[in-house]
Chain A
Amino acid sequence: MTSVITTRTRETAPTERTRRNRWSTGRLLRRLPWWLIALVLLGGALLWVYPFLWMLSASLKDNIEVFSSSLSLLPESAVFENYGRAWSDANFSGYMWNTIIVTVVTVVLVVIRCAMAGYVIGRYGFFGKKTVVVVLVATLFVPTGYTIIPVVDITQQLGLLNSLTGMIIALSGGGHVAAILLYAGYFRQVPRELEESATVDGAGFFTIFLRIMLPLAKPITATVTLLTFLSTWNAFFLPLVFTFSRPDLRTLSVGMQAFVGENTTDWAGMAAAATISLVPVIVLFVVLQRRFVEGFAGAIKQ
């Protein structure tokens, strides 16, 4: 720890010499503790992503190889038939399709309903506003395990149990209070003059919302889209309970559970199925990393 202190204090007053020689020995030596820390952390990071690397490698091995030498990550020769087995035999193509439909429609519904609710809550006083806000905040942390029985009961009574429609409505209906609060917080600080001048120009209530306010809130929409995408793609409890008697409607997460229940010894197939299910979110994360981080960090800054 002492070495860290010295680097800090010396770094604070950079002399002419260090500025001239970026790569001088003294500077490198002072940076050494940080390189050591980075090395340790890189080791930790490797351990951190190891389960995914193992999964990827197991998906390219045949089952005998997975059982015998699972420590070596490189397969002797890449076997792609595991993917074929998971994709068509185990119906992961169907599960993928279900997941995409459910996720896309849910995201659209959530963005629309949360933007509208956030807009009026953040910008207008109205009769019953306090009640609405109190109810939303009070139920912010209600766990799925608590509400699942009435939710199934309602969906059953609506005749929507065992259908993707029912799943979508339930997923977009419950929760997402944070998205409403995000929108409300954003719309609250948009200056009044904006809609006053629009009113003078003859724009009505809904036109102002749709043409002026919603485009302004693009960063919030991006965050809400991303977070809702993630929570819906990864949802498990509700899709599980909603598809008990309709295996063809399973989403990826539920299909995975069923797959290992039926094929306990097909490790390579399991790994391929898991890879198929995880690749979309991981690719999205790597591409939109900054947005992800900002989206999650936004929650704490409020």
Chain B
Amino acid sequence: MSSAITGHQDLLSAPDARRSRSRRLGRQQLWIWLLLTPTVVLYGLYTVYPVIASYWYSFVEWNGFESQKRFVGLQNFRDVFADDLFWNSFKVTLLFMVVVVPLKVILSLLLAIVLNSPKLPFSTLLRTAYFLPVVTTTAIVGVVMQFVFDPASGPANQLLRTFGVSEGVNFLGDSSTALWTAAGVYVWKWFGITMIYWLAALQTIPDEVYEAARMDGAGALRLLRHITLPLLRPFLIIITLLSLESSLRVFDLVLTLTGGGPFYSTEVVEIYIYRWAFSATIPQLGYASAAAVIFGLFVFFVGLFQLLGIRSVQRARAAS
């Protein structure tokens, strides 16, 4: 209501107008911060503060949320660095990332190219089927998969036995196969989302480009090689980096599928942190925080790398 009044004053007298204008702007600033308050408070409390607090916690000895913190300096970091199982969890995380990301990105691109063709029958049905696992609850899928890959009665092994391929593989119970099985389940679970990314990317290529090339006599394979793939390159960087980032967040799947075992063969860093903070008989929160800080820095650098990549893509796109 008041803004309407100030609007009239603008017409009446100049000095008055300036004052009411600054008052209106002041009120606007107030409204702006009022609308920001819920985000500033909640996000500050539950994301920004934890990021900072982790650093403080990593310097204390702290055995449970109700107990006292005792400053120990860099001792936690020294202990984390000396723990072979920490390095193991780091290795598992990296290995998982390196296996899962190319598999997911490349396979889903192939499927997206085929699904994008208007000549393919049932393409909507196919898209639905391949996307379905994405919407399902990871923790529940993890539990179900534990049974699907059961060495004795799970359907995966029954299938292998029916076709006489093998006498049964202990997919999740054997430390040499557990990580690969988890990686397979992960690709299955999140494959659909990269497929949708690729389909969205493919739809940015206008039909005219294809038509012009076809006029010039280009075949499907040459269209793919000289038009589709080069035009998709900027998306490749973004999609790969998004996939890298999300492959670091596998807590739900790994905890429900294997719990990090057998013999720590699937223990990713998040499970390592969880084990020390929440499932140890005497929680080592300071120690777990030190591991979390190292992990957080690692994720940060992957993210930074990602932003730089996207920035360079945008610049290249703006230049062309």
Contact = CB atoms under 8 A, between A and B. Distances in A.
Interface of A: 1, 4-5, 7-9, 11-12, 31, 34-35, 37-38, 41-42, 44-46, 48-52, 54-55, 58, 66-68, 70-71, 109, 112-114, 116-117, 119-121, 124, 126-127, 132, 135-137, 139-154, 156, 169-170, 172-175, 180, 199-206, 209, 230, 233-234, 236-237, 241, 244, 252-254, 256-257, 260, 267, 270-271, 274, 277-278, 281-282, 284-286, 289, 292-293, 296-297, 299-301
Interface string B141-154: 10111111000011
A173 B42 contact: yes
Contacts of B125: 42, 45
Contact of A142 (B57, B269, B296): B296
A117 B39 contact: yes
Main secondary structure of the interface of A (DSSP, over half): helix
Contacts of A234: 136-139, 252
A67 B48 contact: no
Contact of A135 (B48, B122, B293, B307): B48
A75 to B, nearest CB: 14
A147 B2 contact: no
B71 interface: no
Contacts of A174: 43, 46-47, 50
Indicate the member of B31, B46, B238 with the most A CB atoms within 10 Å: B46
Contacts, number: 304
A144 B138 CA distance: 15
Indicate the member of B147, B162, B211, B221 with the most A CB atoms within 10 Å: B147
Contacts of B17: none
Nearest to A33: B119
Main secondary structure of the interface of B (DSSP, over half): helix
B3 interface: yes
B199 A297 contact: yes
Interface residues of B, number: 112
Interface string B22-57: 000001110111011011101101111111011001
Interface of B: 1-4, 7, 27-29, 31-33, 35-36, 38-40, 42-43, 45-51, 53-54, 57, 65-66, 111, 114, 117, 119-123, 125-141, 143-148, 153-155, 158-159, 162, 188, 193, 196-197, 199-201, 204, 211, 214, 217, 219-221, 223, 235, 238-239, 242, 245, 248-249, 251-252, 255-256, 269-270, 273-274, 277-278, 285, 288-289, 292-293, 295-296, 299-300, 302-303, 306-307
